[in-house]
């Protein structure tokens, strides 16, 4: 046996036997490849494990329930025996939320993906939570509808994962985050009881909103009723340039407060701007060499050389022109009485001109649209080249936004190369999406301590970043969730609420079997 | 001692002494008038008690804390002794939510009403929860801002009451319900710990949304950060007539889905239409005599005579012209890039014309605006005339709306005269606001059993109404809350969620002192 594949132990084999008896042959497995696949998600720190050939937290067994009733049976089975149950969607999470730190049962929900029930006149779709995001959008599209939810993980994420981690899609300024789209859920709690919320406004406390973002620690969501929309009939895309990030933020805020609802509104900081427009001609003329290696995705030695001195690299960014790119898009289904996408776009241009926006025409917008999912797939080549890329999405109010941006840049600067864009804007504030690029490999390739060193560098970078974000009054996570990764910072966010969270855990999951070791629960 | 005023018992006097020692002189009272004032809200069934000269559920003592810290001290005091604590805002509730059924401490929050902190550039206002609604709106108005929250109780309700019962204002189609406006809260749980939620999107489970609608059973909300808006610069009001309620509903749905955001959109059923336009000239020509007594607010014997035969009265309504009035209004702060109030109004007219809407001009809209709070003050004269008026606000999805309306009308018809309007429309559905007019007095005025008889008639009417609403797939309450009044129906709404609610109660209030006997907790 090489690499992270490891044979199941006797506990795993016993669970496989019992769960196969419970749900039927083929519903459970403790084959090494299955255990490895469920031992991690796309958390970059877990990729370091994979690279080092280890899987520190495999489950004992993987189970594939095919119905809510089967989920109930697995949960009751596990509750009786005190075995952990970790729900698993498609494994695209970037915070280690599905890592089964206490072993037990990895509950893969992919078979909970029967045909969705689309009611376009009622504007709803009923869907099982194991449904793949892109598949759902294709089925909706075939019925003339859209969910309007386009996370960059859409090809490899599920409805259940979205709900568990408060997902935001790229068009959230128009369609909202997943918590704004969900009208009702069905969920199985840690005692195996089924909770179904109504599809009407709640009378009394709202249990639906409580379970969103709970990352499998309070209940396992099995079905959801989501709001859908008629497919957009028209789309309008644009790029605009501001002289500075600060002017761009002011423009974005004015736009959100104007009553216009852009589908896309993403503001890039100078370096991210450079990346976003890098196929656009001579924009690179003044870019210093080491920066260019990074920006142009140079592989191997050049990249590693540059990343050895992140502070220098980050300082070089200060020498860039301060221009900040805004990608702006509108879309509509043609039923809107007030304006269509083009009209709304032109109103936005008129509103943003006095804020200092130069109209760059449709090309930058169209280009962003064509490439919008690619970013998620750049990680592996970077990784092979000895770097790690990671992203941190925090959010705060408009008045604290610029300081948050500066504080995180400053804190991360000694650890990694950092860039950012501003997206998912709302009335009171906005999310900042930072990208960190750091050195994963040490100078001592092949040394057994190399993993520990790499993890240490990764952790130091994140500790600095999250401390700075909390100090600046940001939420810990806007839409990636908490997972293993950010949980030690959770008390900074919730304060006394942590005690309430623990009490909720006891209420929903008295045996403590649901995704233990997450959210500090 | 006559009527409902009753001297405090030894328990009350001891509590008064201890709490005065804890918070200072003048902070606690067990004077009979204070106990009576806190023994009920505006629940019509409690008005029957008042009329009969009884107060079946007085508190033992009333306390007026002036700060969060004082709330904490009272809660800790009560938790140590197992004494009930019932938070009280302004007593405008209509479901008996503040009736202290276990006696104990009535916690009047009116002194928690320091000057709000208005941040118009940030679009937020920080306010203590004892703040009166109209006072807050006046203070905001002075700063060029508005909350956009105008419940008909605004003169006699508080921010805390709004949050506790999921209040909706008359302009909710534009500004949302209170749960859409609140960005953060401070609350004291049943152990005296202070929970403060962040003013940024939640990472992990959302405790804020959990506490809304909890009616004082999980925590006592002491402060809130709410979204505010610049004062509207312009307003556009209109009346439109549809040939039937069904056409009106279809028009309302099309309007909400068009992307337009009316400030006001209220559709009246034929009888409510008649009431709404009754000063409008010859509309009454064809109104049968008994109906006219009711519509014209005839007092005394004529009204009682009519209400003795509610089924007949309800049948007479069928003979009315089926016309249905829509009151429509737009308002804007002038900063909207897409349209101002007038433009949006005209777009709405163009959209609604093909749906069968006749434009009645601005007068019906202006009239509604001028009289919009008066409805809350019609109850007392009716009551004096021997009738009771009550309202039931339920909500459901568009496809179930017409059936809900018919089912509730049918169920209530033998018990009370019933009319309705449709308001608080949203994308997936709409609220129906029913008004019941019934006979409060029996034929045996002066008989000691009279209260029991009146309560029996009242309860029978409501049991029929709520059963029909639940059967038709409606939420129990859209914005009045649950209180004592509707709690037995709560399991119809929450199902397995009731077990979770009870677990939440144990988590937030382990001693069970917070507003016991409500939400079945």
The 10s digit of each residue's pLDDT in A428-468 is 999 999 999 888 775 545 566 888 888 898 999 999 999 99
Between B66-80, B155-169, B486-500, the lowest mean confidence (pLDDT) is in B486-500
Is the Cβ pair A189, B500 closer than 8 Å?
A: yes
Contacts of residue A395 in chain B, CB cutoff 8 Å? 200-201
Token pair in block for residue A333: 């289904």
Residue A280 is assigned to a structural domain of this protein: yes
How far is A128 from chain B, CA to nearest CA, in Å? 20
Residues of chain B in contact with residue A216, where contact means CB-CB under 8 angstroms, are none
For residue A297, the distance in angstroms to the closest alpha carbon of chain B comes to: 33
User: Does residue A175 fall inside a structural domain?
Assistant: yes
H-type alpha helices, B176-215: 178-181, 207-211
pLDDT at residue B279 tops 50: no
- For B345, which residue in chain A has the nearest alpha carbon? A338
pLDDT of B281: 40
Q: Which 302-341 residues of chain A touch chain B by CB within 8 A?
A: 332, 335-339
Residues A255 and A362 in one domain: yes
Q: Can you tell me the ipTM of this complex?
A: 0.92
| Whether the predicted pLDDT of A289 surpasses 80 | no
Q: Hey, which residues 123-162 in chain B have their CB within 8 Å of chain A?
A: 123-124
Closest alpha carbon to A184 in A193, A196, A173: A196
Task: Retrieve residue B72's tokens.
Answer: 């904490």
Residues B270, B162: one domain? no
* Residue A292 confidence (pLDDT) above 80: no
Final residue in a domain of this structure, among B304, B339, B372: B372
- Are B361 and B398 contained in the same domain? no
Show the domain range for B388.
Answer: 374-484
Helix (H) and strand (E) counts in chain B:
22, 18
* Residue A3: predicted pLDDT: 66
**B347 to A335: CB separation less than 8 angstroms, yes or no:** no
pLDDT at B303: 78
List of residues 6+ apart from B281 with CB closer than 8 A: none
Domain annotation covers residue B4: no
What is the pLDDT averaged over residues B164-178? 95
Locate all alpha helices (DSSP H) within A377-472, ordered by sequence: 379-384, 398-412, 450-471
User: Which of B164, B201, B351, B491 would you mutate first to test chain A, the one with the most A CBs within 10 A?
Assistant: B201
- For residues B394-407, average pLDDT: 96
Q: Which residue of B has its CA nearest to A498?
A: B195
Confidence bin at B447 (pLDDT 50/70/90): low
* Residue of B205, B331, B338 best to disrupt the A interface, most CBs of A under 10 A: B205
- pLDDT value at residue A297: 63
Query: Does B117 contact chain A (CB < 8 Å)?
Result: no
pLDDT tens column, A216-234: 999 999 999 999 999 998 8
**Cβ separation of B207 and A210 shorter than 8 Å?**
yes
Which residues 395-424 on chain A approach chain B with CB closer than 8 angstroms?
Answer: 395-399
pLDDT of A285 reads 47
Contacts of A399 in chain B (CB under 8 A): 121-122
Q: Pull the structure tokens for residue B417.
A: 């005269």
B242: nearest Cα among B354, B328, B346, B323: B323
Min Cα distance B59 → chain A (Å) is 24
**B358-359 vs B234-242, strand pairing mode:** antiparallel
Name the residue among B233, B218, B335, B323 with its Cα closest to residue B280: B323
Report which of B46, B53, B49, B60 is spatially closest to residue B4, judged by C-alpha positions: B53
* Separation of alpha carbons B16 and B18, rounded Å: 6
Chain B residues touching residue A432 (CB < 8 angstroms): none
> Which residues of chain B neighbour A482 with C-beta distances below 8 Å?
203-204
Could you read off the pLDDT of A372-427 as tens digits, one per residue? 887 666 677 777 777 888 999 999 999 999 999 999 999 999 999 998 999 999 99
> Looking at residues B199-224, what average pLDDT do you find?
94
Closest partner residue to B500 (CB to CB) among A199, A207, A519 is A207
Average pLDDT, chain B: 90
- Do both A241 and A366 map to the same domain? yes
Q: Is the pLDDT of residue B286 over 70?
A: no
* The pLDDT value given to residue A442: 58
The angle that helices B245-257 and B398-412 make with each other, rounded to 10 degrees, is: 150
Residue B516 and residue B102 in contact, taking contact as beta carbons nearer than 8 Å: yes
CB pairs under 8 A between A and B: 231
| pLDDT recorded at residue A308 | 86
Q: Report CB contact under 8 Å: A203, B495.
A: no
In whole angstroms, give the CA distance from residue A515 to residue A307. Answer: 36
The answer to whether the Cβ–Cβ distance between B193 and A476 falls below 8 Å is no
Interface contact A500-B508, CB threshold 8 A:
yes
- Percent of chain A's residues with pLDDT above 70: 92
pLDDT of B484 higher than 90: yes
Spell out the residues 6+ positions from residue B379 whose beta carbon is closer than 8 angstroms to its own: B42, B44, B47, B389
Q: Is residue A325 part of a domain?
A: yes
Of A490, A21, A420, the closest CA to residue A214 belongs to A490
The average pLDDT across A493-503 equals 90
Domain end, chosen from B187, B203, B230, is at B230
Exposure class string for B347-381: b at 16+ Cβ within 10 A, else e? bbbebbeebbbeebeeebbbbbeeebeeebeebee
Tell me the per-residue pLDDT of A137-173, one tens digit each, with 9 for 90 and over: 999 999 999 999 999 999 999 999 999 999 999 999 9
Residues A366 and A382 both lie in one domain: no
Which chain B residues have a beta carbon less than 8 Å from that of A335? 257-259
pLDDT digits (tens, 9 = 90+) for B93-128: 999 999 999 999 999 999 999 999 999 999 999 999
Of the listed ranges A141-145, A182-186, A309-313, B54-58, the least confidently predicted one is: A309-313
pLDDT at B333: 72
Judge: A195–B497 Cβ closer than 8 Å, yes or no. yes
- The verdict on A96 and A161 lying in the same domain is no
Q: Between the CA of residue A393 and those of A215, A403, A419, A432, B284, what are the distances in Å?
A: 17, 15, 12, 6, 62
Q: How far is B160 from chain A (nearest CA, A)?
A: 15
Nearest CB partner across the interface for B183, out of A210, A428, A508: A428
Contacts of A507 in chain B (CB under 8 A): 500, 503-504, 506-507
Least confident of A52-66, A92-106, B317-331: B317-331
Nearest by CB to B507, which of A197, A337, A504? A504
- Do B27 and B73 reside in the same domain of the chain? yes
Q: Of B320, B324, B326, B322, which is closest to residue B361 (Cα–Cα)?
A: B326
Going by pLDDT thresholds of 50, 70 and 90, the confidence category of residue A273 is confident
How far off is chain A from B256, nearest CA to CA, in Å? 10
| Residues 350 through 369 of chain B touching chain A, CB cutoff 8 Å | 350-351
Across the interface, which of B203, B344, B347 has its CB nearest the CB of A476?
B203
Nearest to A469 by CA among B122, B372, B187, B198: B198
CB B292 within 8 A of CB B214: no
Residue numbers in A near B123 (CB within 8 A): 257, 427-428
Contact state of A258 with B474 under an 8 Å Cβ cutoff: no
pLDDT of residue A444: 45
Measured CA to CA, the distance from residue B89 to residue B92 in angstroms comes to: 8
B203 with A123: Cβ contact below 8 A: no
Residue in A with minimal Cα distance to B97: A204
Identify the band that residue A202 occupies on the pLDDT scale cut at 50, 70 and 90: confident
Instruction: Examine residue A307 and state whether it is found in any structural domain, yes or no.
Output: no
Model confidence at A280: pLDDT above 50 = no
Q: Chain A: nearest CA to B334, how far in angstroms?
A: 9
Residue B206 has pLDDT above 80, yes or no: yes
Nearest-CB residue to A427 (from B123, B481, B500): B123
Residues of chain A positioned with their CB less than 8 A from the CB of B214: 204-205
Question: Under an 8 A CB cutoff, do A494 and B258 touch?
Answer: no
The structural domain count of chain A equals: 4
Report residue B1's pLDDT band, with 50, 70 and 90 as the boundaries. Answer: very low
**Tens-place pLDDT, residues A314-364:** 888 887 788 999 999 999 876 655 568 998 899 999 999 999 999 999 999
The confidence score (pLDDT) of residue B362 equals 96
pLDDT tens digits, residue range B341-356? 998 899 999 999 999 9
pLDDT value at residue A279: 46
Give pLDDT, residue A103: 97
Class of residue A319 by CB neighbours under 10 A (exposed 0-12, middle 13-18, buried 19+)? exposed
Question: Are A48 and A158 contained in the same domain?
Answer: no
Look up the CATH number of the domain holding residue B85: 3.30.43.10
The verdict on A498 touching B (C-beta cutoff 8 Å) is: no
Q: Are residues B80 and B99 in the same domain?
A: yes
Say if the Cβ atoms of A429 and B200 lie within 8 Å. Answer: yes
Q: How far is B317 from chain A (nearest CA, A)?
A: 29
CATH no. for residue A450? 3.30.300.330
* Contact flag A428-B199 (C-beta cutoff 8 Å): yes
Domain co-membership, A166 together with A281: no
Check CB contact under 8 Å for A475 and B183: no
Considering the domain boundaries, does residue B89 fall inside one? yes
Which among A93, A120, A201, A342 is the top mutation candidate for probing chain B, defined by the most B β-carbons within 10 Å of its own β-carbon?
Answer: A201
Mind listing the pLDDT tens digit for each residue in B72-86?
A: 999 999 999 999 999
Which of A427, A490, A508 minimises the CB distance to B500? A508
* Range scoring the smallest mean pLDDT among A57-66, A262-271, A299-308, A458-467: A299-308
Is residue B380 scored above 80 in pLDDT? Answer: no
Residues B327 and B414 occupy one common structural domain? no
B225 and B241 belong to one structural domain: no
Given this model, what pLDDT does residue A334 score?
Answer: 62
Q: Can you give the pLDDT at residue B337?
A: 52
Say which CATH number the domain at A125 has.
Answer: 3.30.465.10
In Å, what is the CA distance from B85 to each residue of A118, B97, B108, B251?
47, 13, 10, 47
Instruction: Report d(CA A298, CA A308) in Å as an integer.
Output: 14
Q: Is residue A507 part of a domain?
A: no
Please tell me the predicted confidence (pLDDT) of residue B444. Answer: 45
* Chain A residues touching B348 at Cβ < 8 A: 337
- In-domain check, residue A126: yes
Following CA atoms A271, A275, A276, A277 in sequence, which dihedral angle do they give, to the nearest 10 degrees?
Answer: 100
Last-in-domain residue among B213, B230, B247: B230
Q: Does B428 contact A227 at a Cβ distance shorter than 8 Å?
A: yes
Cβ(B117)–Cβ(B139) below 8 Å: no
């Amino acid at each position: 046996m090489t690499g992270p594949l490891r044979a199941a132990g006797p506990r795993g084999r016993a669970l496989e036997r019992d769960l196969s008896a419970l749900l039927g042959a083929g519903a459970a497995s403790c084959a090494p490849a299955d255990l490895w696949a469920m031992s991690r998600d796309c958390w970059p720190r877990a990729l370091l494990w994979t690279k080092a050939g280890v899987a520190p937290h495999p489950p004992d067994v993987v189970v594939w329930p095919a119905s809510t009733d089967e989920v109930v049976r697995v949960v009751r089975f596990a509750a009786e025996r005190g075995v952990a149950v970790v729900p698993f969607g498609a494994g695209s999470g970037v915070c280690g939320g599905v890592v089964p730190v206490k072993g037990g049962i990895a509950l893969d929900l992919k078979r909970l993906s029967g045909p969705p029930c689309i009611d376009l006149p009622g504007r709803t779709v009923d869907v099982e939570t194991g449904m793949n995001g892109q598949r759902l959008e294709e089925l909706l599209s075939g019925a003339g509808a859209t969910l309007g939810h386009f996370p960059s993980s859409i090809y490899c994420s599920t409805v259940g994962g979205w709900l568990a981690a408060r997902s935001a899609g790229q068009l959230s300024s128009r369609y909202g985050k997943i918590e704004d789209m969900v009208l009702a859920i069905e969920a199985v709690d840690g005692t195996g009881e089924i909770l179904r919320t109504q599809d009407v406004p709640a009378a009394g406390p709202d249990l639906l909103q409580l379970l969103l973002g709970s990352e499998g620690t309070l209940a396992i969501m099995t079905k959801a009723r989501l709001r859908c929309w008629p497919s957009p009939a028209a789309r309008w895309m644009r790029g605009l340039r501001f002289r500075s990030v600060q002017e761009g933020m002011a423009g974005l805020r004015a736009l959100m407060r104007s009553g216009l609802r852009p589908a896309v509104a993403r503001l890039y900081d100078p370096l991210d701007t450079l990346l976003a427009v890098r196929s656009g001609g001579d924009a690179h003329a003044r870019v210093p060499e080491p920066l260019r290696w990074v920006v142009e995705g140079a592989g191997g030695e050049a990249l590693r050389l540059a990343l050895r001195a992140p502070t220098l690299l980050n300082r070089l960014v200060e020498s860039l022109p301060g221009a900040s790119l805004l990608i702006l898009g509108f879309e509509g289904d043609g039923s809107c009485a007030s304006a269509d996408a083009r009209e709304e776009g032109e109103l936005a241009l008129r509103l943003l001109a006095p804020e200092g926006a130069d109209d760059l025409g449709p090309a930058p917008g169209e280009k962003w649209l064509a490439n919008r999912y690619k970013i998620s797939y750049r990680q592996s080549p970077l990784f092979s080249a000895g770097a790690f890329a990671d992203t941190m999405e925090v959010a705060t109010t408009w008045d604290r936004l610029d300081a948050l941006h500066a504080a995180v840049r400053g804190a991360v600067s000694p650890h990694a190369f950092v860039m950012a864009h501003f997206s998912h804007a709302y009335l009171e504030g906005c999310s900042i999406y930072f990208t960190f690029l750091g050195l994963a490999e040490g100078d001592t390739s092949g040394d057994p301590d190399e993993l520990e060193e790499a993890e240490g560098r990764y952790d130091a970078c994140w500790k600095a970043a999250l401390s700075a974000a909390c100090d600046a009054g940001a939420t810990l996570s806007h839409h990636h969730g908490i997972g293993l990764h950010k949980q030690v910072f959770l008390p900074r966010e919730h304060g006394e609420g942590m005690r309430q969270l623990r009490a909720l855990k006891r209420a929903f999951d008295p045996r403590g079997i649901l995704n233990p070791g997450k959210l500090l629960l």
